[in-house]
Structure 1
Amino acid sequence: MPKSSNQKLKLLYLLKILREETDEEHFLNSQQLIERLARWDISAERKSIYDDIARLMDFGYDIVHVKNKAGSGYYMGSREFELPELKLLVDVVQASRFITQRKSRELIQKLEQFVSAKEATQLQRQVYVAGRVKTENESIYYNVDFIHRAIQENRQISFQYMEWTLDRRLVPRKGGERYVISPWALSWNDENYYLIGYDAAADQLKHYRVDKMGSIQLTALEREGGSAFKSFDIAAYTNKTFGMYGGKEETVSLEFADRLIGVVIDRFGKETDIRRLAEGTFRIRVKVAVSGQFFGWLTGLGIQARLTGPPDVVEEYKEYLKKINKLYEEGRFEEA
């Protein structure tokens, strides 16, 4: 009987079966493997199965031979990723706002290929995250790769920066004017991806939401701002910048109730200068970008936190609170 055209692919199909249908709790014996190979019109005998598995093991695949009361058989042992590692990656993909729902599904389906079909169901059960707001900008997935390429090739990029309108459309800012920036790093902060780049016109480093960058293009210009970025500490920058909104940088003093120590360390890090005051309170001195976002964060902590210096920032915060109170007293927004 002539052999089928698939016969030369026997080892590959055997590997596919072991990868997709076996794991530590599910194994297949030689007869079951023969039956599955037959579905692809591949003939096999018990002895050839033993020889083929030995070849795969010699090549480096971890195929385990089981012999117990339940029977005997083979399963794929260690893989590129362990199941707990893949569960973690699935959670990160699904929770990431900057990855669209469609791209999230595609990535998770690809991750499922690293485990058996039985184990893949455990990844599927982790996919849903209630109320998660995802970006609708499909291009962000490729924008990130594009920016990395520009960094590697030491080139500036140009792009349009987008903003939302009341009719839920993303439109270019400044009438479509293109921004020209030297990209230096990508930062993931507050559930969004940001480009850290040098703006030669303003002679400073700035950040941009990657999901709001449109029609990115590589330019022929070499990057600028290397000396500025060399002394730039991304971790410190993101710690002092609230919601990635810039503002005047100041060293401020803040007092907190002891119960907020975890909030403070989560926000500013373990190396923060912390001084105990009266029983039940402590003080810190940190650099922050003074902005409405910083004041909003502080206000959210209620009467368990107090800004104590410098005096001009304290006065600015008082004015911020007065304006909010005035809004509720008068029931209307101030004119811009």
Structure 2
Amino acid sequence: MTLGRQSKKLSLFNTLEILKKYTDENHRLTQAELLDLLKQDYDMEIDRRTIKSNLMDLIELGYEIESQETTRMIRNEKTGEVEESTIMSSFYLVRDFSKPELRLLIDSLLFSKHLPYSQCKELVTKLESLSNKYFRSNMSYISTMPEDKTNNKQIFYNIDVLDEAISKGRKVSFKYLEYGTDKEQHVKLNQEGDERVYVVSPYQMVAKEGKYYLICNYDAYDDISNYRVDRIAKIQILDAKAKPFENLKWSKGQRLNLAEYMKNHVYMYASDDSTVCFRIIKSMISDVIDMFGKDVQFYDETEDSVCVRVNVNESAMIQFAQSYAPDVEILEPLSLREEVKKKLREGYRVYE
């Protein structure tokens, strides 16, 4: 069959779509099966020469198509001599993402708390389309996604605006949402009862414990604040230039080191950092490394306990010590130790 130029392009496109839909390393197609699927899915009939040409063209265009090569001895119709010939069969399209990689990305979305349910499901569907029909048939657990994700539908708009503001070095203004007893989000109010407007210099956006945060400087102060991106509303880019991060009191004249910042701010609290020493039971060593990283220093090890030294955000350390008391005991600084003692006493009084 001789195809016209447009029909040739269409058969090439349809061949690619079939490879995307039906193949992977465990599901391969012969040329005969490709021909059958072209007829079944697209009502298109072509011959073996055309399907082979399509496959070679796709490989030449940069698509990674694997096949099984078989060597056969066949007789040359012109010369009558028996010659060696390589036959290609069992074709499949190599994916940009493996199945485990896609599942990891999808699970990250499923367990995130900063994306609205409908948008999360839409993104999962797009990720599924990067594989084939066999992958999608194994993802039925998507229907178990929690319905109580964030209600802020404009999170992607917020991300887009913040990305532009950060790249241009500009301040932004926004209003901030918080839940009321009616279980609905409302704009946070100031002391006068008016909707509070936040003006900040944005520096970076990060995901932490299933939530998406903006690291920034609140204009009225000279320190760092963290705001949930999904709770930001009515955001606007301002003409004013952002305050350089290295001018903030905590920066020590340095630019934002995101890895260091995230290590110190395990709960995304905004407060001073300190070198903290604390004692833990030895069964918590893995938890401490998971929480604070491998830069922690261990010392004064006994049979049952060990001391830890780490540079960490003070508010985060207080929360950590409270959460794991009595298995965690802060030793230094004394001011932090006293603060934890105070909070634990207050908690005990509540239950007396």
Q: What TM-score comes out, normalization by structure 2 length?
A: 0.82
Amino acid corresponding to residue 14 of structure 1 in structure 2: T
After superposing the two structures, state which structure 1 stretch, 277-286 or 104-113, moved more.
277-286
* TM-superposition CA deviations, 1:98-153 (whole Å, max 9, x none): 1222222211211122222113323x146366769632322223322221121112
Q: What does 1:196-207 align with in structure 2 at a 5 Å threshold?
A: 196-207=215-226
Amino acid corresponding to residue 224 of structure 2 in structure 1: L
Secondary structure of the corresponding residue to residue 35 of structure 1: helix
After superposing the two structures, state which structure 1 stretch, 251-260 or 233-242, moved more.
233-242
**Identity of paired residues, percent?**
28
Aligned to 1:141: 156
Q: What TM-score comes out, normalization by structure 1 length?
A: 0.85
* Counterpart-to-counterpart distance in 1, 2:229 and 2:218: 16
2:97 is equivalent to residue 84 of structure 1: no
Secondary structure of the corresponding residue to residue 224 of structure 2: strand
- The answer to whether the 8 Å contact 1:91/1:127 transfers is no
Aligned to 2:74: none
Distance 1:152 1:311, change over 3 A: closer
Aligned to 2:176: 161
* Counterpart-to-counterpart distance in 1, 2:187 and 2:146: 28
Aligned to 2:73: none
Choose from 265, 274, 277 the match for 1:241: 265
2:10 is equivalent to residue 9 of structure 1: yes
Aligned to 2:278: 254
After superposing the two structures, state which structure 1 stretch, 279-288 or 93-102, moved more.
279-288
* Counterpart-to-counterpart distance in 2, 1:6 and 1:191: 48
Question: Any unmatched runs of 5+ in structure 2?
Answer: 71-87, 249-253
TM-aligned CA deviation for residue 294 of structure 1: 3.9
* Counterpart-to-counterpart distance in 2, 1:109 and 1:88: 14
- The answer to whether the 8 Å contact 1:240/1:268 transfers is yes
2:342 is equivalent to residue 326 of structure 1: no
* Counterpart-to-counterpart distance in 2, 1:8 and 1:309: 72
Distance 1:10 1:322, change over 3 A: same
**What is the number of equivalent residue pairs in this alignment?**
325
Question: Any unmatched runs of 5+ in structure 1?
Answer: 330-336
Distance 1:73 1:298, change over 3 A: same
Aligned to 1:177: 196
Aligned to 1:333: none
- The answer to whether the 8 Å contact 1:22/1:28 transfers is yes
Distance 1:130 1:303, change over 3 A: farther
Amino acid corresponding to residue 64 of structure 1 in structure 2: E
* Counterpart-to-counterpart distance in 2, 1:42 and 1:130: 40
Aligned to 2:53: 51
Secondary structure of the corresponding residue to residue 308 of structure 1: strand
After superposing the two structures, state which structure 1 stretch, 176-185 or 230-239, moved more.
230-239
Aligned to 1:334: none
2:119 is equivalent to residue 103 of structure 1: yes
* Counterpart-to-counterpart distance in 2, 1:137 and 1:207: 18
Secondary structure of the corresponding residue to residue 201 of structure 2: strand
Aligned to 2:251: none
Secondary structure of the corresponding residue to residue 194 of structure 1: strand
Choose from 206, 214, 219 the match for 1:187: 206
Amino acid corresponding to residue 245 of structure 1 in structure 2: Y
After superposing the two structures, state which structure 1 stretch, 3-12 or 266-275, moved more.
3-12
* TM-superposition CA deviations, 1:59-118 (whole Å, max 9, x none): 2222233479xxx84432312212221121111121211122222221121112222211
Distance 1:63 1:318, change over 3 A: closer
Secondary structure of the corresponding residue to residue 127 of structure 1: helix
Aligned to 2:308: 284
Secondary structure of the corresponding residue to residue 251 of structure 1: strand
2:19 is equivalent to residue 18 of structure 1: yes
TM-aligned CA deviation for residue 249 of structure 1: 4.0
Amino acid corresponding to residue 185 of structure 2 in structure 1: L
* Counterpart-to-counterpart distance in 2, 1:226 and 1:248: 15
Secondary structure of the corresponding residue to residue 176 of structure 1: coil
* RMSD of aligned Cα (Å): 2.8
Distance 1:8 1:264, change over 3 A: closer
